[in-house]
Amino acid sequence: MTNLNDPWNDDEVTRTLNDLPPVDPPSTLVNDVMSTIASRGAARATHPSVIPTKRGEIMAKKVLWIVAATAALALIAMRLVGYPPVEKGTEATIGAAQRYQSPQISSADVKTEDAQLQTFLQSDLFRQLTTDKTARQALKNKDFQKALQEPAVRAALASSDVRSAIGSVKPGVAGDAAALAKYDLSIRAALDANAALKAAFDASPALRAALVSQDVIAAMNSAALAAVLSQADVSNRLSNDAAIRAVLSAPDVAAGAAGGAATDVVAR
């Protein structure tokens, strides 16, 4: 005997569910479906982009809602992600003013030469150099400029013997190997006092060529250059590219203003 408080077993539930008979659909269902299909087909033919639904809604309205929802989600996502980034200082502006802003001048931009060079550029010796064509011509010689950067060469040229030995080379023999060899002997003799320069002179054909070039031979007879070369501390200035540029630029200005032009060159 079944107790009213006993839960139903699975078989009993199954039998009960199967007790529910199949239900006949409404007799008009087929006709209703086919007439709806026919009317929708006609509506689609006349209004292909708008399909009316049962509840009177239109598809265009659904699309509008979808687009609006998508746009709202995109805005929220952009807000959360922080895209596009807002640059500092441009908040609340429609567009940042694109002004040119030159950087502040820094100490690295101000190139100051040492005081000795400035003194040299304002000295009488410098003025004499700028007004001595033979000295300027010699200083234009790249090989001579390079030679002057060697302390040993400057030390050798400080010797009047060396200068006179080089200066005694007759113009026109620089390209004559045999004649040059003869003068080499006198130069080498003059260089005996300077072993380092002598060794360099022997080892470097370029140095020999520089010292016996037409320009340098002529410059060795220049009183202005001789005066500069004879003073070790002053000749040291000629190892400075700025000083040489100053000398070479001097012809561009009047002799009296040479010092001022040289200062401009250094400032460049």
- Return residues touching other proteins (CB under 8 A): 4-10, 12-14, 16-26, 29-30, 32-34, 36-38, 40, 54
CA distances for 77 relative to 73, 82, 232, 256, angstroms? 6, 8, 77, 75
CB 215 within 8 A of CB 231: no
CB 130 within 8 A of CB 245: no
When the beta carbons of 9 and 70 are compared against other proteins, the nearer one is 9
Question: CB neighbours (10 Å) of residue 86?
Answer: 12
Whole-angstrom Cα distance, residue 143 to residue 130?
19
CB 223 within 8 A of CB 125: no
Closest CB 60 distance from other proteins, rounded Å: 17
Closest CB 41 distance from other proteins, rounded Å: 8
Closest CB 47 distance from other proteins, rounded Å: 15
When the beta carbons of 23 and 110 are compared against other proteins, the nearer one is 23
How many degrees, rounded to 5, is the angle at CA 13 between CA 7 and CA 14? 155
When the beta carbons of 21 and 82 are compared against other proteins, the nearer one is 21
Whole-angstrom Cα distance, residue 249 to residue 261?
8
When the beta carbons of 29 and 72 are compared against other proteins, the nearer one is 29
Question: CB neighbours (10 Å) of residue 165?
Answer: 23
When the beta carbons of 25 and 89 are compared against other proteins, the nearer one is 25
Question: CB neighbours (10 Å) of residue 138?
Answer: 24
Closest CB 75 distance from other proteins, rounded Å: 28
Closest CB 45 distance from other proteins, rounded Å: 13
